[in-house]
Amino acid sequence: MKHILSVSSPDAQGLIAKISSILFKHQLNIEKNDEHVDEEYGQFFMRTCFSGEADFQAILQEIRTQLPTSAEVKISHTARKSIVILCTKENHCLGDLLLRHESGELDVEIKAVVSNHAILEPLSQKFGVPFFHIDAEGISREAHEEKMLQCLKSLNPDLLVLAKYMRILSPHFVEQFQEKMINIHHSFLPAFVGANPYKQAYERGVKIIGATAHFVTQLLDEGPIIFQDIVRIDHTYSWQEMQKAGRNVEKIVLARALDLVLKDRIFIFQNKTIVF
């Protein structure tokens, strides 16, 4: 099995040599190494893919003794991770993830689809994925989120993926999944907020459609950005055609972001990401 060593530390001379020598001493084989230094904050980041077996807790402790006390060090393993997908009514992102999973392109266990509407249950069932409809009608947001949390606790996924889940989550809910919840939205935000952003963009004559995948934080749509992409358009597009193009971008961006997170390629620092 392959393993991933992730290090975030105040920068200092010789960090790469110190860490590499420890792995070598324990007869572990480094297969790929990536480093970056944030010059503004003097912060060092390193992601090392290695193979071999050893006492990983002892290795972590030994590495920490060679780094500044505020350093963060972890070792993750390439075992298959699990997700739960949250959705509402739009099917394009959910359908794309289910297809990628079915084809083996997305190496993850989809434990369930959870939604505040039942409309996408047939789509989930086509792929043999359990579907949980947690109705929000007639109850408070707090009561609905408590039902959601009970369901998610029983499923215990590594990550939550918001595939066009169209409800604002409370700070209490978000707190339960810090750095473990990924969202997708059109890049018109915050310029085009509210209903039908594609129609608003059409009326402004935009020339680029984009999408952004990010980690969910307490601040709406302002979490650390994982991946973005765009498609260029022109004046001949109707708002419906713009919406179609935008949905295509959303699917690609969400799938790419999820893949990066599943492979432990993301560091979060100062509300932004370092992506290896």
Q: Would you call the peptide bond into 190 cis, given omega within 30 degrees of 0 as the criterion? A: yes
Task: Check residue 176 and give its pLDDT.
Answer: 95
pLDDT at 133 over 70: yes
Supply the mean pLDDT for the chain. 94
Question: Is 38 a residue of the active site?
Answer: no
Return the pLDDT at 183: 96
203 — pLDDT class (breaks 50, 70, 90):
confident
Res 77 pLDDT > 80 = yes
| Mean pLDDT of the 192-219 span | 86
Indicate the pairing of strand 43-51 with strand 109-115: unpaired
The b-or-e profile of 97-106 (16+ CB within 10 A means b, else e) is: bbebbeeeeb
**pTM for this predicted structure:** 0.92
| pLDDT over 90 percentage in the chain | 87
Per the DSSP assignment, residues forming a β-bridge with 211 are: 186, 229
Maximum alpha-carbon separation in the chain: 63
Walk me through the domains of the chain, giving residue ranges and CATH numbers: 2-77 (3.30.70.260), 82-275 (3.40.50.170)
Question: What DSSP assignment string belongs to 77-144?
Answer: E-SPPEEEEEE-S--HHHHHHHHHHHHTSS-SEEEEEEESSSTTHHHHHHTT--EEE---TTS-HHHH
Task: Name which of 176, 169, 186, 177 is nearest 229 in CA terms.
Answer: 186
- Rounded mean pLDDT, 105-129: 97
* Range from 59-63, 155-159, 221-225 carrying the lowest mean pLDDT: 221-225
Helix (H, G, I), strand (E, B) or coil at 29: strand
What average pLDDT does range 96-119 have in this prediction? 97
Proportion of the chain above pLDDT 70, given as a percent: 98
Q: What are phi and psi of 236, to 5 degrees?
A: -80, -15
Sequence-distant (≥ 6) Cβ neighbours of residue 77 within 8 angstroms: 1, 2, 3, 4
Residue 103 has pLDDT above 90, yes or no: yes
What tens digit of pLDDT does each residue of 5-57 get? 999 999 999 999 999 999 999 999 999 999 999 999 999 999 999 999 999 99
Nearby residues of 183 by Cβ (< 8 Å), 6 or more positions away: 162, 165, 213, 214, 215, 216, 221, 223
| pLDDT higher than 60, residue 190 | no
| Tokens describing residue 217 | 């934080």
pLDDT at res. 204: 86
Sort 137 into a burial class: Cβ within 10 Å, 0-12 / 13-18 / 19+: exposed
pLDDT at 79: 87
**Per the residue annotation, which of 158, 221, 229, 259 is the catalytic one?**
221
